Structure 1
Amino acid sequence: MNVSAEPLSRRAWGQLQPADRDWLVRLARGAGPGARVALVGGAVRDALLGGAPLDLDVVVEGTDAGALAAATGLPFLVHPAFGNATVTLPDGRHADLVRARRESYPVPGANPVPAPGSLTDDLRRRDFGLNALALVVGPDGEVTLLDEVGGLEDLRARTLRPLHPRSFHEDASRLVRGARLAGRLDLGAHPELRRQVPDALEMAGRTPRLHAELRLLLGERRPGRAARVLEEWGAGSLLPGGAVERLEALDGRQDAGESVPEQAYAAALLSVAPDPPALAARLGLGEKPGALLARALSDAPASPGSPEAILRALLRPDAYPPLTGRDVVALGVPPGPAVGAALAHLATLRRGGQVRSREEERAALEAYLRNSPPPPQ
């Protein structure tokens, strides 16, 4: 279905940054006769929902994406395997120029095999109806909204509908991507999506891209919302037990005005994993979340509002700031090796559960000093 009249196409076009509109028109002019340049996917979806898209995905039909990228005069990188290119925009953002293509999955869960195709083919290969909308840009600045799969109706209903009956069987990562979108945009699940959830769970172990989507989930503005969506859809088993509650608790800290970085969410996820290093490796988290988790579980001082302090309040709600070297000196321990010995004694008591507050530590330190031999003169 082509929709060229107001208000949809112009409304979506108006949501783009002026510089992005100018760049897209220049692309269309440079594409040549018979070619088509279209903004696709999430940018069109978000523009129609009233947002201001930042990420630009462009499909080109009837021209070479790499040559078109080179003609922009901007820094670019060509990806020969797919015939695509990535352009670095003047403000530092990246825009993908994708050759229109078809895809097939000879082996479910593996990477798809691309083949040249039309803009219509490219839209029909996508995951959900509301992600299969395109804004075709003409060299004169005219725009046409292209809806080949009923995505506008899905957008009006705010529902996620897979485009193919075997969509999640071929690519189980689409389930996690759908949960991310649902949590971010407050979208509902079409009955066809719910029907395919068992297919995704069956194929999860054979779909490496699913791990990449789970990592992206941790980068959502409210990861707990996306995790809760997965659980409500019957796919909570993709996360360790207890993960949803811990991620939601961090969402609550953000809702209260605190800044919770992605690393803190990743550390919270590791905190409920049976094998944290293995999960970190599968998701490609690196070493920082594990190190952050270790600091949060330790007795080391943590600045108020720091990731360590936020995690400690979540994982050790009864924790308290222990006495420091300055504290024990003020309470009568002479500076020098005696300070380290006193702090080590208090740490042993904390690990054994024999002190549970700073007041109890002070009392224990006083007892320690009474029973300690006087320092040598």
Structure 2
Amino acid sequence: MIIILSHQFLDFDALAAMAAAQKLCPEAVLVIDGKYSSYVQEFLSLAKEQLPYYRFKDIDVDKVEKIILVDTQEIERSIGNKKLMDRLRTIPIEIIDHHPVVEPDGQNQIIEMVGACTTILVEQIQQRGINLTSFDATLMALGIYDDTGSLLFANTTPRDLLAAAYLVEEGAELAVMAEYLQRPLTSEQKDLFQQLLDNGVIEKYNEMPVFISYAESREYFSGLALLAHRIGEFENAEIFFLVVKMEDRVYLVGRARGGSSLPLNEIVQAFGGGGHEKAASAVIKNGNIDSIIRLLREEIKLRAEKPTTIRDIMSYPVKTVFPDTSIEEVGKMLLKYGHTGLPVVQDEKLVGIISRRDVDKALKHGLQHAPVKGFMTRDVITVQPDLSWEEVQKLMVLHDIGRIPVVENEILTGIVSRSDVMRLIYGSVVPTLNELARDRSIARREEILRHIAGLPQYIQDDLAVIREAASEMGNQVYLVGGFVRDLLMNMPNNDLDIVVEGNGIELGRILSKKLTCDKLVLHASFGTASLIFCNGTHLDIASTRREDYDFPGALPVVEESTLREDLLRRDFTINAMALCLNEDSFGDIIDYYGGFRDLQQKEIRFLHNLSFIDDPTRMLRAIKFAVRYEFKLAKVTADAMPIALKEDVFAKISAERFTEELILIYKEAKFQRMGRELIRNGIFKAWFKADYAWNFEEAESVGEQRSLTERWLISLKNLDSNEISAVLDRLTLPKSLKRITLEYLRLKQALKLEDLTDLKNLDELLAGVPLLLFNILGSDDAYTDPLKKYRLLREGIQMKTTGKDLRQSGVREGPEIGSILKQIRLAWLEGKIRTPDEEKRYLEILLEKNDRADCIDNKPI
């Protein structure tokens, strides 16, 4: 009898290797007798018919003629049967493993440094042309993926990838693999992981950070490669060494990432181990953790070279320009040298950066003679030449910038680009911006899907319909703008903005039928469609497009473009993200411009330095978003406002566009704080051409309860009549709002001329005034006391007499009726009448006077 064994703490690589060994030796039987994870146990319970196996109690150990041992070299860890142990010297053992040699003993061994033991056996199966079922291929692929971290661990070799590709061709089911591989750590792994975190320290060798940690477990279990990978997600080092004692052996695992030059395989060779430069391991029998770590440190010191610094990879000398250099001249230099940007220096010191994109926009707006200092980026990240490349890489990722000036003693000495760093790490393999953006998106996808699951059901249903329509069209469809921003912030937003890389009009027509909207509005010239629903929500659809502005404040010229260009036309980074709605990538966030970063850092950042030149109303939106979300303006954005205002960019903005943005601000809950910011940043002064005493000092809680009309009129409270007229001349208010503002202006002017103690005139002026206007007029300090007194007197009026009553009493139709009613009302105000009975007697006196007057009028002359 030939039996196939592996270590007793069975993982998927061990199980898959056993199954592969049986394919190569069909007469052999599998013997599984030990511990295994719940996931392996679940797999075995479901696959018992396809993968029959025995325990030692089920076989006659006296008949064992040969042992095939896979994924380990330690036979004593694989046998839980004393009788068989006693016979080991008489039984030939064939070992197939991918771990470093523990104790060379001359036995029949195949030990090769690949990511998974299963890889070695799959290569033999492929060479012999042995057929595999879909189940076989899935199990073996599961073994390779498990031990290589889905082909991401540093110990993964090209052989592992080729073996995995072959198994997929043979029918491996990736969905089944994903179900078993996406699992949390076991309780034993969690305990060991916590020890490694608690005991770990980062030590520097020639400025190279190395993480070293140790842990101990009474029992052996697999998964150190997984823990090493997880440690790399928590610790800020490029090199990791884990020293773990389990039972009577110490396991040394080394991992490196990035451009580390430390050869891990040479280090672990001192412990009898092996591997390659970025992934190596060793097993030390009866080792001592302290002595192993001490020797490990000595080996690292011997081989740690001085790290690559920025001085080694930077470009120099650097082409530069001066702050007063004209935009036209800078454009010629960029064209001549093929650069995407130039540093701006003054007295040899770096003061800014100007990009080709900003130069092109300035030239298009006719600003060729303007100095570069008005358009350069002043908030420049710089580095010292002796800084390590790892630190520079972190800065590039953190700030999402591709070129960083190198400064020494305040003097510009060079420049380092993202490509320089990537070449150091990957040679010529440099990922594209699209790939980097997608990688960041996938890492956040699970969180996004949770946010989507929390949306109202009708929105989730709409997204499902849009996904279906996208599949029918065969185009990429994205949610964009404010909805994506608010989704990431877990804030409600019911208005969907859709962008399609295709025909937006066609998608609009398809969705109008599927979603049964109440109204479909098409704009063929812009390639857009709007679906309007009875519940007040709307769905806007557009084709990806690029917008250019012929002059500051002009309406954009629209052309078809890519998603990247479509997002670039938006105002701020937090509004320039897209969420993919297609089936295969549903939930992916596309973030080319660092919007997610700015959400986390709570900053409002525009997309390019001429943003406020292209569309000056973006200054109002910048303030609106900053106050609404309790964000701050990024320094580069805040610094651009006075530059744009100095260029008088509002001169070519229509009153309609400015008014539209202003009204949106007045509708915000925090409009008063926004108003104060508009004043502080000089935007109101620039637009209204004067420094008016706007009133944005009401308590926020009061402001939230007021209507748009109240908010608007209260903000005018401190302005005199001439100033209010001037404000109205600069705006295009909605008709109803303008009408009530004019009424407010009329009343304010009239009150200024009135004797406020004359109740008759005051009542004639204010009798029919809406309560809203009356309250706002009364909030003016000049009128507070008299209007308060008048209001109390007016509220005390219980006048019962009507025009009908007077006609029935014989008063003729005409002005007499109005005159009598006014006299009664005035008597109430003056306190001459206090009760309905007094009103009745007063009316009798008036009627009597009226009768006498009639007699006199009718007496013959």
- TM-score range (shorter-chain normalised) is 0.7 to 0.9
2:458 is the alignment partner of 1:16? no
Question: 1:206 is matched with which residue: 635, 648, 652?
Answer: 652
Question: 1:279 is matched with which residue: 719, 722, 728?
Answer: 728
Question: 2:505 is matched with which residue: 63, 66, 70?
Answer: 66
Measured in 2, the distance between the counterparts of 1:136 and 1:41 equals 12
1:64–1:99 CA contact under 8 A, matched in 2: yes
Structure with max Cα Rg: 2
Question: 1:230 is matched with which residue: 672, 678, 693?
Answer: 678
Aligned amino acid, residue 602 of structure 2: R
State the match for 1:30 in structure 2: 469
2:676 is the alignment partner of 1:263? no
Give the deviation of 1:80 after TM superposition. 1.0
State the match for 1:215 in structure 2: 663
Give the deviation of 1:174 after TM superposition. 0.4
Measured in 2, the distance between the counterparts of 1:80 and 1:167 equals 27
Measured in 2, the distance between the counterparts of 1:233 and 1:34 equals 47
Equivalent runs, 1:68-107 vs 2, <5 Å: 68-72=507-511, 73=513, 74=516, 75-89=519-533, 91-107=535-551
Measured in 2, the distance between the counterparts of 1:93 and 1:168 equals 30
State the match for 1:353 in structure 2: none
Residue 300 and residue 251 in structure 1: after superposition, are their counterparts in 2 closer, same or farther (change >3 A)? farther
- After superposition, the C-alpha distances for 1:165-205 in whole angstroms (9 at most, x for unaligned) are 01001110001112222222222111112112124432113
Measured in 1, the distance between the counterparts of 2:493 and 2:631 equals 18
Give the deviation of 1:24 after TM superposition. 2.2
1:169–1:199 CA contact under 8 A, matched in 2: no
- After superposition, the C-alpha distances for 1:202-235 in whole angstroms (9 at most, x for unaligned) are 2113112222211222222232121122223332
1:81 counterpart SS class: coil
Larger mean CA deviation between 105-114 and 262-271 belongs to 262-271
State the match for 1:352 in structure 2: none
2:669–2:703 CA contact under 8 A, matched in 1: no
Give the deviation of 1:342 after TM superposition. 6.9
Question: 1:183 is matched with which residue: 603, 624, 627?
Answer: 627
Measured in 2, the distance between the counterparts of 1:50 and 1:150 equals 18
- After superposition, the C-alpha distances for 1:56-85 in whole angstroms (9 at most, x for unaligned) are 111111x21111111120342111111000
Aligned amino acid, residue 100 of structure 1: T
Unpaired runs of 5+ residues, structure 1, are 347-357
Question: 2:822 is matched with which residue: 340, 354, 358?
Answer: 340
Equivalent runs, 1:186-197 vs 2, <5 Å: 186-197=630-641
Q: How many residues align?
A: 349
2:692–2:723 CA contact under 8 A, matched in 1: no
2:784 counterpart SS class: coil
Aligned amino acid, residue 260 of structure 1: R
- Tell me the percent identity: 25
Residue 340 and residue 322 in structure 1: after superposition, are their counterparts in 2 closer, same or farther (change >3 A)? farther
Unpaired runs of 5+ residues, structure 2, are 1-436, 749-764, 801-805, 807-816, 835-841, 853-861
Question: 2:611 is matched with which residue: 161, 167, 170?
Answer: 167
Give the deviation of 1:275 after TM superposition. 4.3
2:779 is the alignment partner of 1:314? yes
Return the TM-score normalized by structure 1: 0.80
- After superposition, the C-alpha distances for 1:109-132 in whole angstroms (9 at most, x for unaligned) are 110111101111111111111111
1:56–1:96 CA contact under 8 A, matched in 2: yes
Residue 265 and residue 192 in structure 1: after superposition, are their counterparts in 2 closer, same or farther (change >3 A)? same
Give the deviation of 1:9 after TM superposition. 2.3
Equivalent runs, 1:315-330 vs 2, <5 Å: 315=780, 316-318=783-785, 319-320=787-788, 321=791, 323-324=793-794, 327=797
Measured in 1, the distance between the counterparts of 2:610 and 2:509 equals 38
Aligned amino acid, residue 219 of structure 1: K
1:15–1:51 CA contact under 8 A, matched in 2: no
State the match for 1:291 in structure 2: 740
Measured in 1, the distance between the counterparts of 2:454 and 2:777 equals 42
Measured in 2, the distance between the counterparts of 1:313 and 1:207 equals 36
Higher relative contact order (CA 8 A, sep 6+): 1
Aligned amino acid, residue 233 of structure 1: N
1:282 counterpart SS class: coil
Residue 310 and residue 54 in structure 1: after superposition, are their counterparts in 2 closer, same or farther (change >3 A)? farther
Residue 141 and residue 162 in structure 1: after superposition, are their counterparts in 2 closer, same or farther (change >3 A)? closer
Measured in 1, the distance between the counterparts of 2:466 and 2:626 equals 32
State the match for 1:253 in structure 2: 702
Return the TM-score normalized by structure 2: 0.37
